[in-house]
């Protein structure tokens, strides 16, 4: 007999097949042709439009929207891809409410920005679905570039370099490309294998070779790469996570939210994934939200996010928080976990309330405590670098780069989550990868 | 508010008539229009038997605005495609059942006196209130020497009107085509021929679109298209101007005009009345939204009249005419400047783009080093273009400079004297006059 939401412990198949497929379908399906035209009409074609500078890749938003309104979806997509070759993924995953759409003048005017992200998806989908790749390369210029990592930063860098005539070799430690596009982004934001389809489409440019299961630091060193390539780009993201330890006896009770999400992204049959009846997620960012929401969608009865500071300190945007609470997730702010106990065969997480000391700004644990039932706990308190970092000058645990994306090591550039610049977002990774490619090109031709 | 209207002595409970077109094509429609509250109808134009035929493909083309709002429409429909007697019988029944409504019969027959002589007695029998002569239809019928083919030749208008007047007891309205150079000539001709009123406009000759796959104009009939008649909100400005030209003409003082063309809301109707129309006729708006809009038209007009303390429709007629003048009489000493309400401004920069690229470089794009838009009084010529493009209503307004205030653009003090082009030193004829 299959389980229900109320089945105790951590079990699989809590929901019907239909529920699973509803829960993990496209959260914001693409616009119809008509919806797109009505929405495109709302754009004022602003002068020096503020939405453009709010987009990390600086897409010419008014132009692409005007192209949509004149039924030139392909040209619109080209306007987008010129700046952001992963415009399809970004249209799905960008927290637009804190980027382009926050800056849209209609947000200030009426609280209803032009739906830039969804229009971007409309245009890019149209082109990608018809399998048009709007770029070509004139053939090889004989120069070779090594790219570490096939996440958004590495892909954007590789595509731009390939377009400019370089022969690109990507080294990817996993057996599948895409980085967090493939392993991190919430399932309902990128359905139908979009991440891998997008990569197939991107590789149509030619000149890019991906070497899978090849890890920098293990299989080869930076110095080896520098000898055999004209330049190196590091887009390795963050490979490790911060941990919290809460033990029951000798057993670590806390699971890693990033691993949980990666499993979710790779599974074909959601009913095969076990999930707790009572799930607790610790953290305040996009990962915490995604882990919590997807636990709920997998059939957990109660899901609670525990965040140690005030709600407005959460790095997840208001829209993300609302999305979570609308799915039934409860968010408890100003609390930290202290221990786990087992009473009558049920695990209970003990927590203390916290307060920020006004003078020192330090977080204080208060004497007041409470507990919640917790069959399963996910930790989502940030990603970090592994030992690779040692080679580079670093800051706050990330690689330091200059304005051109160059690291402290000669002929090595870097971008994306692994660098100490910009926000940890897909779109920022794309911008930095693209800009590093241009900088590499500039440096090589000036030699 | 009583909207009672009297046009050529024909009474109707309100000044809103349905223009001669598909909404007035048959008893079934007209009955429901009257039930909905329309004041009158001009029956779909009648012709001689054998009745004409329409195309069997699409008849209409369209120009849409945002959200597919119909801004303009064109049609290649002809006059009624039903036998004359059926129409006449229905008109008679309708007039009997709705004695308080205006029922006007629109006619178009060949330019031969006998044709008119044969049809007019039959129309008289319907006991309808009046006639409208369709000298306006710009497509199909004009190729056969009717419609705008008559309306474009003042002599024909006069001649046919005279024939009609001498063969009917009914008041005669002549419906004019806008497809001419100066509307006053056909209008004067109509009155010369004895017309009791003119109505305008009929549709504007137009091609609304070309299909870029088949290279056929639209609407396309088996790969070919033809020009049609344009109507709806887009033609209102043309119609308003033409109506005012007749109302202002010294030769046509106090002549009756029925205003037609793009009337969509009560406001449009009030504007036509203010420019000298005694009532209005509506076609496209009814064809777009159905007969129900009459409730908005009547309640809107009443409400506005109440607020303006206007007691009857006739008081509105021509109210704006004294203020319609020629360019040369506009006061050149009236100086205004655009000003931006910073609290309302959403910083879209459209005013800047338009002023910088196409006007007078009179808007700055920064305020204290930050994005912000401000009018540079030294450059602003008050052209109004920024207001046209600003998406926020009342965000940019025109301020009248006070008498004695210095216009920063010219350095001159604003004078309270009226001075126009006729006396301006740059006007060669004015210099000559002074010598
Ligand atoms: C759960 C989760 C949800 C997220 N949701 C969003 C979202 O909705 N919207 C958004 O904008 N951002 C989101 N982000 C952030 C976003 O995914 C990242 O900012 C973005 O993927 C960073 O791109 P990157 O290319 O720098 O790194 P990654 O995407 O991490 O890619 C790095 C790649 O390098 C490979 N690699 C690592 N080390 C080595 C090595 N030594 N040798 C060879 N290859 C190596 C990795 O396997 C990986 O493929 C989310 C992140 C997480 C964790
Ligand atoms: C489909 C259609 C058919 C028309 N047929 C006639 C007609 O038979 N006789 C006539 O005098 N005007 C005819 N007209 C013109 C209308 O009466 C009216 O003058 C014109 O449409 C402008 O008014 P509007 O903007 O309110 O539509 C027709 C208009 C349309 C749209
Ligand atoms: S890439 Fe992201 S931030 Fe940029 S315009 Fe598109 S949705 Fe907005
Ligand atoms: S700010 Fe908004 S309205 Fe202006 S160009 Fe950008 S999307 Fe369009
Ligand atoms: S057009 Fe209007 S809203 Fe836009 S910047 Fe100018 S004044 Fe402000």
Map chain B to HEC letters. CCCCEEECCEEECCCEEECCCHHHCCHHHHHHHHHHCCCEEEEEEECCCCCCCCCCCCCEEEEECHHHCEEEEEECCCCCCCCHHHHHHHHHHHHHHCCCCEEEEEECCCCCHHHHHHHHHHHHCCCCCEEEEECCCCCCCHHHCCCHHHHCCHHHHHHHHHHHHCCCCCCEEEECCCCCCCCHHHHHHHHHCCCCEEEECCCEEECCEEECCCCEEECCECCECCCEEEECHHHHHHHHHHHHHHHHCHHHCCCEEEEECCCCCHHHHHHHHHCCCCEEEECHHHHHHCCCHHHHHHHHHHHHHHHCCCCCHHHHCCCCHHHCCCHHHCCCCCCEEEEECCCCCCCCCHHHHHHHHHCCCCEEEEECCEEEEEECCCCCCCCCHHHHHCCCCCCEEEEECCCCCEECCCCEECCCCCCCHHHCCCCHHHHHHHC
Ligand 4 pocket mutation, candidates A105, A112, A119, criterion most atoms within 8 A of CB: A105
Closest ligand (CA of A263)? 1
Q: Are A205 and A163 in contact (CB under 8 A)?
A: yes
The predicted model scores a pTM of: 0.88
Partners of B346 on chain A (C-beta within 8 Å) are 105-106, 108-109
Contact B350 A46 (CB under 8 A): yes
Q: Are A299 and A19 in contact (CB under 8 A)?
A: yes
Of A38, A47, A106, the CB nearest to B349: A47
Cα separation of B348 and B130, whole Å?
54
Q: Are B40 and B104 in contact (CB under 8 A)?
A: yes
Structure tokens, B60: 């209409």
Structure tokens, A439: 């900088």
Give me the total of CB pairs closer than 8 Å, taking one residue from chain A and one from chain B.
Answer: 34
The per-residue pLDDT for A435 is: 98
Structure tokens, B219: 């609407």
What does the pLDDT look like over B300-334, one tens digit per residue? 999 999 999 999 999 999 999 999 999 999 999 99
Q: Does B223 touch chain A (CB under 8 A)?
A: no
Partners of A109 on chain B (C-beta within 8 Å) are 346, 391-392
**What kind of architecture, by CATH, is found in domain A33-129?**
Orthogonal Bundle (1.10)
CATH ID of B5-323, from 3.40.50.20, 3.20.20.70, 1.10.1200.10, 3.40.190.10? 3.20.20.70
Q: Does B69 touch chain A (CB under 8 A)?
A: no
Strand partners, A340: A349
Q: Is the pLDDT of residue B435 over 60?
A: no
The CA distance from B348 to the nearest CA of chain A, in Å, is: 5
Provide the 8-state DSSP code for B110: -
Closest ligand (CA of B389)? 5
Q: Are B269 and B297 in contact (CB under 8 A)?
A: yes
3-state SS class at A77: helix
What does the pLDDT look like over B129-179, one tens digit per residue? 999 999 987 777 778 888 788 899 999 999 999 999 999 999 999 999 999
Å from CA of A55 to ligand 5 middle: 22
The CATH code that applies to domain A17-24+241-379 is: 3.50.50.60
Partners of A50 on chain B (C-beta within 8 Å) are 347, 371
Query: CA distances (Å), A36 to each of A30, A32, B395, in order?
Result: 9, 6, 28
Q: Give me the residues of A, 255-274, that contact B with CB < 8 A.
A: none
Structure tokens, B377: 């009084």
Q: Is the pLDDT of residue B433 over 70?
A: no
Cα separation of A178 and A291, whole Å?
19
Q: What angle do CA B24, B85, B159 make, to 5 degrees?
A: 75
The per-residue pLDDT for B35 is: 98
The CA distance from B349 to the nearest CA of chain A, in Å, is: 5
What's the order of all strands across the beta sheet hosting A231-234? Answer: A208-211, A167-171, A144-148, A231-234, A412-414
3-state SS class at B6: strand
What is the ipTM for the molecules in this complex?
Answer: 0.81
The per-residue pLDDT for B432 is: 52
Partners of B353 on chain A (C-beta within 8 Å) are 47
- Which residues are within 8 A (CB) of A146 and not within 5 positions of it... i.e. 6 or more apart? A168, A169, A171, A225, A228, A229, A231, A232, A233
Q: How many Cβ atoms are within 10 Å of A187's Cβ, its own excluded?
A: 21
Structure tokens, A113: 């920005």
Give the residue from A47, A70, A106 with the most B CB atoms within 10 Å of its CB, the best one to mutate: A47
3-state SS class at B59: coil
Cα separation of B55 and A284, whole Å?
67
Q: Are A415 and A120 in contact (CB under 8 A)?
A: no
Cα separation of B58 and A391, whole Å?
74
CA-closest candidate to residue A440, choices A418, A416, A407: A407
Catalytic residue among B111, B115, B137, B351: B137
Partners of A44 on chain B (C-beta within 8 Å) are 348, 350, 391
Q: Which atom of ligand 4 is nearest to the CA of A113?
A: 2
The per-residue pLDDT for B434 is: 46
First to last CA, chain B: 58
Of A42, A47, A50, the CB nearest to B353: A47
List chain B domain ranges.
5-323, 327-423
- Where along chain A do the CATH 3.50.50.60 domains lie? 17-24+241-379, 144-239+385-445
Question: What share of residues in chain B are helix, strand, coil (percent, to 5)?
Answer: 35, 20, 45
* Mean of per-residue pLDDT scores for chain B: 95
The per-residue pLDDT for B145 is: 81
3-state SS class at A129: helix
Does B199 contact ligand 2 (Cβ within 6 A)? no
Tell me the range of B91-95, B358-362, B419-423 where mean pLDDT is highest: B91-95
Å from CA of A62 to ligand 4 middle: 6
Q: Give me the residues of B, 329-368, that contact A with CB < 8 A.
A: 346-350, 352-353, 365
The per-residue pLDDT for B150 is: 87
Contact A44 B353 (CB under 8 A): no
3-state SS class at B401: coil
E strand or H helix that includes residue B407:
strand B406-407
The CATH code that applies to domain A144-239+385-445 is: 3.50.50.60
Percent of chain B with pLDDT over 70: 99
| Residue entry with tokens 């040369």 | B328
Does A185 contact ligand 1 (Cβ within 6 A)? yes
Query: CA distances (Å), A199 to each of A158, A181, A206, in order?
Result: 11, 10, 12
Å from CA of A150 to ligand 3 middle: 20
Cα separation of B407 and B410, whole Å?
6
Contact B371 A50 (CB under 8 A): yes
Q: Does A340 touch chain B (CB under 8 A)?
A: no
The per-residue pLDDT for B146 is: 81
- Looking at B166-229, list the stretches that DSSP marks H as alpha helix, in order from N- to C-terminal side: 184-192
Structure tokens, B173: 């309205």
Q: Are B13 and B77 in contact (CB under 8 A)?
A: no
- Which residues are within 8 A (CB) of B185 and not within 5 positions of it... i.e. 6 or more apart? B154
Residues in chain A, pLDDT under 70: 1, 250
Ligand 3, atom 8, lies closest to the CA of A100
Structure tokens, B34: 């009257």
Contact A105 B346 (CB under 8 A): yes
E strand or H helix that includes residue B286:
helix B284-289
Q: What phi and psi, each to the nearest 5 degrees, are found at residue A11?
A: -135, 165
* Mean of per-residue pLDDT scores for chain A: 94
Give the residue from B348, B349, B393 with the most A CB atoms within 10 Å of its CB, the best one to mutate: B348
Cα separation of A251 and B55, whole Å?
84
Question: What residue of A is the nearest CA neighbor of B390?
Answer: A44
What does the pLDDT look like over A398-430, one tens digit per residue? 999 999 999 999 999 999 999 999 999 999 999
CA-closest candidate to residue A47, choices B148, B357, B406, B257: B357
Cα separation of B187 and B245, whole Å?
10
Q: Does domain B327-423 have CATH number 3.40.50.300?
A: no
Q: Does A366 touch chain B (CB under 8 A)?
A: no
Q: Is the pLDDT of residue B117 over 70?
A: yes
- Which residues are within 8 A (CB) of B94 and not within 5 positions of it... i.e. 6 or more apart? B27, B30, B31, B34, B103
Q: Are A196 and A172 in contact (CB under 8 A)?
A: no
The per-residue pLDDT for A1 is: 47
- Which residues are within 8 A (CB) of B252 and not within 5 positions of it... i.e. 6 or more apart? B184, B187, B188, B191, B246
Q: Is the pLDDT of residue B378 over 50?
A: yes
Active site residue B137: yes
Q: Residue B10 — very low, low, confident or very high, per pLDDT cuts 50/70/90?
A: very high
The per-residue pLDDT for A138 is: 84
Ligand 4 pocket mutation, candidates A41, A50, A80, A122, criterion most atoms within 8 A of CB: A50
Of B67, B349, B392, the CB nearest to A46: B349
3-state SS class at A10: strand
Q: Which residues line ligand 3 (CB under 6 A)?
A: A 55, 57, 59, 61, 84, 90-91, 94, 96, 99-100, 116-117, 120, 427
């Amino acid at each position: 007999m299959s389980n229900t939401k109320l089945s105790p412990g951590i079990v699989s198949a809590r929901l019907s097949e239909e529920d699973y497929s509803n829960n993990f379908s496209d959260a914001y399906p693409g616009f119809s042709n008509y919806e797109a035209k009505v929405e495109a009409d709302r754009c004022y074609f602003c002068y020096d439009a503020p939405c453009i500078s709010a987009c990390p890749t600086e897409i010419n938003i008014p132009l692409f929207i005007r192209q949509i309104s004149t039924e030139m979806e392909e040209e619109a997509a080209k306007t987008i891809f010129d700046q952001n070759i992963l415009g399809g993924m970004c249209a799905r995953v960008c927290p637009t409410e804190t980027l382009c759409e926050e800056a849209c003048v209609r947000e200030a005017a009426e609280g209803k920005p032009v739906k830039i992200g969804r229009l971007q998806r409309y245009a890019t989908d149209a082109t990608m679905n018809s399998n048009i790749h709007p770029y070509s390369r004139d053939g090889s210029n004989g120069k070779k570039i090594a790219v570490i990592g096939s996440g958004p930063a590495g892909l954007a860098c590789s595509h731009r370099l390939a377009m400019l005539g370089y022969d690109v070799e990507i080294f990817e430690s996993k057996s599948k490309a895409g980085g967090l596009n493939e392993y991190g982004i919430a399932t309902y934001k990128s359905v139908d294998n979009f991440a891998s389809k997008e990569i197939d489409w991107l590789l149509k440019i030619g000149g890019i070779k991906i070497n899978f299961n090849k890890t920098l630091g293990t299989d080869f060193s930076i110095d080896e790469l520098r000898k055999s390539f004209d330049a190196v780009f590091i887009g390795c993201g963050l490979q490790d996570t911060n941990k919290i330890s809460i033990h029951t006896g000798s057993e670590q009770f806390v699971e890693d939210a990033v691993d949980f999400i990666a499993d979710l992204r790779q599974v074909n049959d959601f009913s095969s994934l076990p999930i707790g009846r009572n799930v607790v997620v610790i953290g305040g960012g996009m990962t915490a939200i995604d882990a919590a929401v997807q636990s709920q969608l997998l059939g957990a009865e109660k899901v609670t996010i525990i965040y140690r500071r005030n709600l407005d300190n959460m790095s997840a945007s208001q829209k993300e928080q609302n999305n979570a609470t609308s799915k039934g997730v409860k968010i408890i702010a100003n609390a930290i976990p202290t221990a786990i106990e087992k009473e009558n065969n049920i695990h209970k997480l003990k927590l203390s309330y916290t307060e920020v000391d006004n003078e020192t700004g330090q977080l204080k644990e208060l004497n007041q405590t409470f507990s919640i039932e917790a069959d399963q706990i996910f930790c989502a308190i940030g990603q970090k670098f592994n030992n690779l970092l040692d080679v580079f000058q670093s800051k706050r645990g990330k690689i330091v780069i200059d304005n051109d994306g160059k690291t402290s090591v000669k002929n090595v550039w870097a971008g994306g989550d692994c660098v100490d610049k910009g926000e940890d977002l897909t779109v920022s990774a794309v911008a930095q990868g693209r800009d590093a490619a241009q900088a590499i090109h500039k440096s090589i031709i000036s030699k | 508010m009583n909207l009672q209207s009297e046009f050529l002595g024909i009474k109707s409970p309100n000044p809103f008539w349905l223009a001669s077109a598909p909404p007035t094509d048959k008893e079934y429609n007209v009955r429901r229009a009257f039930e909905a509250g329309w004041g009158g109808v001009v029956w779909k134009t009648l012709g001689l038997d054998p009745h004409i035929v329409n195309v069997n493909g699409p008849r209409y083309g369209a120009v849409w605005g945002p959200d597919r709002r119909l801004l303009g429409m064109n049609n290649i429909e002809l006059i009624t495609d039903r036998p004359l007697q059926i129409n006449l019988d229905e008109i008679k029944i309708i007039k009997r059942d709705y004695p308080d409504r205006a029922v006007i019969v629109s006619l178009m027959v060949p330019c031969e006196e006998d044709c008119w002589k044969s049809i007019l007695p039959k129309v008289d029998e319907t006991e309808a209130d009046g006639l409208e002569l369709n000298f306006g239809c710009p497509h199909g019928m004009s190729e056969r020497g009717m419609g705008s083919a008559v309306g474009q030749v003042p002599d024909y208008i006069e001649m046919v009107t005279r024939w009609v007047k001498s063969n009917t007891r009914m008041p005669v309205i002549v419906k004019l085509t806008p497809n001419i150079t100066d509307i006053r000539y056909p209008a004067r001709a109509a009155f010369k021929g004895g017309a009791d009123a003119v109505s305008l406009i009929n549709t504007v000759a137009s091609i609304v679109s070309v299909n870029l796959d088949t290279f056929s104009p639209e609407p396309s009939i088996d790969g070919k298209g033809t020009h049609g008649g344009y109507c709806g909100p887009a033609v209102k400005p043309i119609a308003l101007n033409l109506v005012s030209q007749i109302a202002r003409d010294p030769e046509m003082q106090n002549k009756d005009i029925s205003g037609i063309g793009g009337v969509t809301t009560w406001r449009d109707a009030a504007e036509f009345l203010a420019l000298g129309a005694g009532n209005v006729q509506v076609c496209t708006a009814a064809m777009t939204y159905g007969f129900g809009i009459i409730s908005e038209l009547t309640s809107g007009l009443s409400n506005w009249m109440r607020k303006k303390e206007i007691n009857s429709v006739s008081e509105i007629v021509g109210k704006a005419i004294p203020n319609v003048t020629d360019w040369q009489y506009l006061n050149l000493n009236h100086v205004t400047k655009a000003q931006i309400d910073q609290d309302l401004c959403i910083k879209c920069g459209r005013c800047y783009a338009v002023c910088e690229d196409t006007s007078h470089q009179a808007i700055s794009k920064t305020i204290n080093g930050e994005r912000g838009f401000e009018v540079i009084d030294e450059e602003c010529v008050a052209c109004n273009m920024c207001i046209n493009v600003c998406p926020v209503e009342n965000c940019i307004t025109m301020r009248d400079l006070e008498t004695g205030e210095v216009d920063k653009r010219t350095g001159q003090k604003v004078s309270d004297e009226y001075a126009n082009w006729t006396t301006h030193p740059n006007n060669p004829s004015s210099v000559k006059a002074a010598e």
